[in-house]
Amino acid sequence: MSARTTATKQKLFDAALKLVGERGAASVTVDEIAAEAGVAKGTIYYNFASKDALVEALLRHGVEILAGRLRSAESADDSLEALVDEMLGFWAEYPAFGQLLVSELWRTPGQWHGTLSLLRDDIVSIVRGHMKRLSDAGRLPDGVEVGTASAALFGTLLVIALDWQVFQPERSRAEVRDSVMHLVRGLGPAR
């Protein structure tokens, strides 16, 4: 794949992500994506087999970036705060990807359900590995089921990040991160 096609695909990803995240995959037209990317419609069909294939590639691409970030964040600082912070940073940078993901991930017989299940597992298993390591090091309280907790943490962070972006954009990332940490460790009855 030449550098030129890579650049074209990148433009298409950016454009598609923006539009699809905002308005949903089904209601965005291929012509709009082409216009937003500043590219001819034919180019889309030269690079992708169909509109669906473009969206699927977009999903894979996004998850790849997120997975990469989580892995490198983990090697830099293995605390739970660091993981949460990195994920919030990703969602802040690609809010449209969060919107896309959240609106497709739990659609039972959706066209991307198979793909998305696998992608979800990618991310959740990274989180799980992270938490497992914390747990083994005795840095998590006893009794936390790592599998359940990591799936829940991923979903929770996703919606909290979206809520932040959409309904409370004035809050800072650090503030949100602290709220999450606080929520996640402090909401029990007074002790």
Of 91, 88, 109, nearest to 100 by C-alpha is 91
Cβ-in-10-Å burial (0-12, 13-18, 19+) of 7 comes to exposed
Least distance between a second copy and beta carbon 116 (Å)? 10
Q: Which does 152 bind (CB under 5 to 8 A by kind): a second copy, DNA, none?
A: a second copy
Sign of torsion over alpha carbons 134, 137, 142, 148: positive
**Lookup: tokens for 183:** 């929520």
- Binding residues (CB under 8 A) for a second copy: these are 22-27, 80, 98-99, 102-104, 106-110, 117, 120, 138-145, 148-149, 151-153, 155-156, 158-160, 162-163, 165-168, 179-191
Cα gap 2→55, rounded to integer Å: 21
d(CA 4, CA 22): 27
Q: How far is the CB of 48 from DNA (least distance, A)?
A: 8
Nearer to DNA, 9 or 128 (CB): 9
**Pick 9 or 95: Cβ nearer a second copy:** 95
3-state secondary structure at position 125: helix
- Of 5 and 79, CB closest to DNA: 5
Give the one entry of a second copy, DNA, none that residue 71 binds, where binding means its C-beta sits below a cut-off of 5 to 8 angstroms depending on kind.
none
Cβ proximity to DNA, 39 vs 67, nearer residue: 39
Residue 2's SS3 state is coil
Q: Is the backbone of residue 75 left (phi > 0), alpha (psi -120 to 50) or beta?
A: alpha
Picked from a second copy, DNA, none, the partner binding residue 172 (CB below 5 to 8 A depending on kind) is none
In the complex, least distance from residue 1 CB atom to a second copy, rounded to whole angstroms: 31
Nearer to a second copy (CB atom), residue 30 or residue 181: 181
Three-class SS of residue 95? helix
